[in-house]
Amino acid sequence: MDSLTHIVLGACAGELLAGKRLGKKALVIGAIANSLPDIDFVTSFFMPLTSDLLAHRGFTHSLLFTAIVAPLLSLASMRLFKTAGMTFGRWLLLWGSQMLTHIFLDAFNAYGTGWFEPFSHYRVSFNTMFVADPLFTLWPAIAMILLTIRKNTHTRRRAWAGTALTLSSIYLLWGVAAKQIVDSHCKKELVRNGITPEGYFSTPTPLNNLLWYVVAKADSGFYIGYRSILDSRGDMRFRYSCANASLLNAATATDDIERLKRFSQGFYTAQLVHDTLIFNDLRFGEVIGWADSTPSCVFYYYPQLPHANELVVQRGRFAKWDANALRTFVRRIRGI
């Protein structure tokens, strides 16, 4: 999830877990605790980009990291806040539950989260929520504002925090249900079109969980389509994209290519654009792919131009989002 979401969720949870004892300090500590696994951003300062892609949401997002760090921070907190009346168990609950919440929520995005590092490189990814979803973040954001400006003695503080977290949790569950509905329909449509996928995933398009981006791996390439929960038509159109994996044999940076393949979990294509080799990771979606017949991928990497690769995960995500693109996006969400 995005940083704002972790901050506001952490603040609300901090109020519920320790607000009576720590006052408004619980908001700050909760926000820090919920954001802590993202400390892995420091790897971007010294690691090659392809290694950093794998390091992000890696060990610091693992169960082992939480098991090691949460007790240490609990001991440090007891020393720092001696008069707060917080036992070691309460501190452990505060730090541990917040860090676990972070890595749990991150697994709902397409990036993948290394819960089992360093023992297994398997990345957990439920693909039920876009990395930033306003309807998920809105309620705890409102609650955090109220908790910040109102007095510690206000009787409704716990109710605000609890209600906000409940509404976000319901929205999270709705995303899981929506995915089941979309997957059920799309897999039937693949069968109807004579497509037998070797791999499959679906994930929400930006800022919502009504319109879904669907990719099926088959026939040395990928069938790509879009499905809205509100679609009135029964049939579904798929566009084929050839993997062109052999193009990657020309790349000299073989270590980078292997790391990119591992990172993409097998959902990648290669292409030549004006003699420039491009590696596309399909999991992060396309730039207005619901409206463009030849869209570019949001994630693309230049294997032969390492210095031209920055912000590859969300490169150009909203580059073509003008008024017309927004209208077509809303229409497609509505199933039109």
Question: pLDDT of the chain along its 336 residues, tens only?
Answer: 999 999 999 999 999 999 999 999 999 999 999 999 999 999 888 898 899 999 999 999 999 999 999 999 999 999 999 888 899 999 999 999 999 999 999 999 999 999 999 999 999 999 999 999 999 999 999 999 999 999 999 999 999 999 999 999 999 999 999 999 999 999 999 999 999 999 999 999 999 999 999 999 999 999 999 999 999 878 899 999 999 999 999 888 889 999 999 999 999 999 999 889 999 999 999 999 999 888 999 999 999 887 788 766 777 788 888 999 999 999 999 998
Give CA–CA dist 10/99, Å, rounded. 9
Query: Nearest-5° angle of CA 167, CA 173, CA 178?
Result: 125
Orientation angle between helical segments 3-22 and 88-106, nearest 10 degrees: 160
Residues 22 and 40: their CA atoms lie apart, in Å, by: 28
- Judge contact between 300 and 321, C-beta under 8 A: no
In the chain, where the domains are located: 3-174, 193-333
What confidence score (pLDDT) does residue 305 get? 83
Question: Which pTM was predicted?
Answer: 0.94
Letter string b/e over residues 1-30, b meaning 16 or more CB atoms within 10 A of that residue's CB = beeebbbbbbbbbbbbbbbebbebebbebb
Residue 304: the pLDDT is 86
pLDDT at 147: 98
Residue 223: strand, helix, or coil: strand
What is the model's pLDDT at position 65?
98
pLDDT score recorded for residue 311: 65
Q: Is the dihedral of CA 201, 203, 209, 213 positive or negative?
A: negative
- The reported pLDDT for the residue numbered 70 is 98
The answer to whether 267 touches 199, Cβ cutoff 8 Å, is yes
Token reading at 204: 């929400």
8 A C-beta contact, residue 87 and residue 95? no
Q: At residue 282, what are phi and psi to the nearest 5 degrees?
A: -75, -20
As a whole number of Å, the end-to-end CA separation of the chain is 29
Instruction: Name the strand (E) or helix (H) holding 179.
Output: helix 157-192
